[in-house]
Amino acid sequence: MTEHIYKQFDADLEAIRSGVLQMGGLVESQVANAITGLKNADKALIEKVIAGDHRINLLEVEIDEACSQLIAKRQPAASDLRSVIGAMKTVTDLERIGDEAKKIAKAARRLHSGDLPYTPKVDVSHAATIAQEMLRKALDSFARSDVTLAPEIAHKDDEVDTAFEGITRQLITYMMEDPRTISNSLETLFIAKSIERIGDHAVNISEYVIYMAHGRDVRYAGTAAVEQEAAKERTRG
């Protein structure tokens, strides 16, 4: 590439990165609003989340198209190509997090459909707080190309998984003791599963950052591989 083409590529790539972070901020808001709507029986907020999912879908399409055009026009290689691929993968996971926020909102709508607010027998707020923190750190990692946050995100995912298992056990107990709770307990279980999946997608995003920065695909490689890449970065620093 000539210097002019390099500058144009960098500008195009930065526009894509900005779009990813814009989408990430919107997804964060969707998740936060879904959890708040559930907790406070805020029907207006719940409906806002459901309606807002369309914007996330549009952003995914826009960013994917920008990435495809950039690859076709500039034919990037090595780290430049990884940056574009990483952005495309990240928006896929962000869109799926948006889907989970919408699922939570729809379950909250069903739980709070009566005249009186529904009081859940099992609290999912602790798991939700951890998952939201994971998402925030994953987006921070993407924004700063900081692979050192990945191990913390991976360990937080273990906490979310443990919380989900505990919620599941409690809900099964309630359903066995009182079949009248089955319908609402299942809705709560669906919400907990969506929270658990949000954590999984946050882990994915942090792993894409490692791929973009170091060229190593650590998906399915385990936490040890993630920690190894983070240690490399600290050594370089």
Question: Read out DSSP for 122-156?
Answer: S--HHHHHHHHHHHHHHHHHHHHT-GGGHHHHHHH
Helix or strand run (H / E) with residue 85: helix 78-111
State residue 220's pLDDT score: 82
Mean pLDDT of 29-35: 99
State residue 234's pLDDT score: 81
Mean residue pLDDT of the chain comes to 94
State residue 237's pLDDT score: 59
Q: What is the pLDDT of residues 110-161, one digit of tens each?
A: 999 987 767 788 999 999 999 999 999 999 999 999 999 999 999 999 999 9
Q: Which of the pair, 222 or 32, is modelled with greater confidence?
A: 32
Mean pLDDT of 212-218: 92
- CA 166, CA 154: separation in Å to the nearest integer? 19
Reported as a pLDDT band with limits 50, 70 and 90, residue 4 is low
Reported as a pLDDT band with limits 50, 70 and 90, residue 222 is confident
Secondary-structure percent of the chain, ordered helix, strand, coil, rounded to 5? 85, 0, 15
- CA 101, CA 120: separation in Å to the nearest integer? 18
Mean pLDDT of 56-85: 96
Mean pLDDT of 59-85: 96
- CA 37, CA 39: separation in Å to the nearest integer? 6
Mean pLDDT of 15-20: 98
- CA 149, CA 135: separation in Å to the nearest integer? 11
Are 50 and 104 a contacting pair, CB within 8 Å?
no
% the chain with pLDDT above 70: 97
Q: What is the pLDDT of residues 81-103, one digit of tens each?
A: 999 999 999 999 999 999 999 99
Residue-range definition of the domain harbouring residue 127? 3-236
pTM, two decimals, is 0.95
Q: What is the pLDDT of residues 190-207, one digit of tens each?
A: 999 999 999 999 999 999
Domain of residue 126, CATH code: 1.20.58.220
Res 186 pLDDT > 90: yes
State residue 2's pLDDT score: 63
Mean pLDDT of 15-33: 99
| Residue 234 one-letter amino acid | R
% the chain with pLDDT above 90: 85
Q: Work out how many domains the chain is built from and give that number.
A: 1
- CA 234, CA 237: separation in Å to the nearest integer? 5
Helix or strand run (H / E) with residue 218: none
The DSSP code for 121 is: S
State residue 148's pLDDT score: 96
Q: What is the pLDDT of residues 46-65, one digit of tens each?
A: 999 999 999 999 999 999 99
